[in-house]
A = this chain, B = another copy of it.
């Protein structure tokens, strides 16, 4: 019973089916009709004109976004626990050609304007320090919290005042959207977001993530950067097909709701004393002793320890209801 990561979940049936359908097409790179429909499809979803590029990984989406928003001699503010800082083997540094990440603090991997301001104040305005050009936040965060539209907009305001671009790592953007029930626009461009890494892989996709630019002029160079990074797949239609299948009839939201609901059940079962943080998306962080963790594992539950005395439980679109119920019971019984 797997609660390791949504990273490893299956691709959902609609996605598999879409791949077979795309198999009947024959145009290379992103010249096929599916890929060419993405700008329009995402512009509709976001209620504004966007440029929408597929890539194969969230790391690529994040890094291409940051390269578009920050020059090599600049710096990017992010949370100390940000995926771009901790889990991408310096991919942002590779794609930006050496920009620095400046890390801020905040509970649950979440940044406030004050926290960002504090980071900015450490930077002298002279050529001896890499000047901040962008802020990157993760929504939902690496600890399963969400930024509301208002919280995002407050950061967007700060960015505008300080001349920073704003990027959202949305590896679990669907989970945030499902939780908040607001229009995608509210969490992005209306709140001042310039670029979004919109995750599909954790949410029922197989190998397709989207990079969305809300300022289309930022996308032009990225088309070259994507190719030059080896991320322009020659059979890109299979990526477009996955994404379009997940957008169809809001499958992306339904999948995310399902994952969030499973997490909510686990959180409720664990109870407030065990919860390290509110489970706002599809991740639950619980306090468990080593013995308790072992007992859970002995009963067949797989998950990661997350620091001493804590465990991370991640649900996904395809979390087995029986496994969830079993873990619920086990947590309640601890």
- Measured in the bound complex, the distance between the Cα atoms of B323 and A32 in whole Å is 21
Most buried by B among A91, A95, A224, A228: A228
A71 within 8 A of B: yes
Contacts of A99 in B (CB 8 A): 90, 93
For this chain, the copies found in one complex come to 4
A73 within 8 A of B: yes
> Known contacts A8-B234, A11-B235, A26-B9; is A228 also within 8 Å of B56 by CB?
no
Most buried by B among A2, A74, A207, A226: A207
Contacts of A20 in B (CB 8 A): 16
- Measured in the bound complex, the distance between the Cα atoms of B128 and A167 in whole Å is 21
A23 pairs with B8, CB closer than 8 A: no
A134 CB to closest chain B CB (Å) equals 14
B8 pairs with A55, CB closer than 8 A: no
- Measured in the bound complex, the distance between the Cα atoms of B223 and A10 in whole Å is 24
A90 pairs with B94, CB closer than 8 A: no
A192 CB to closest chain B CB (Å) equals 24
Closest partner residue, chain B, to A20 (CB atom): B16
Residues of A that sit less than 8 Å from B by CB? 2, 4-5, 7-11, 16, 19-20, 23-24, 26-29, 55-61, 63, 71-75, 86-91, 93-101, 127-131, 201-202, 206-207, 221, 223-235, 238-239
The 10 closest A-B pairs by CB, nearest first: A60-B230, A93-B98, A59-B230, A73-B224, A8-B28, A89-B228, A97-B97, A7-B234, A89-B227, A7-B28
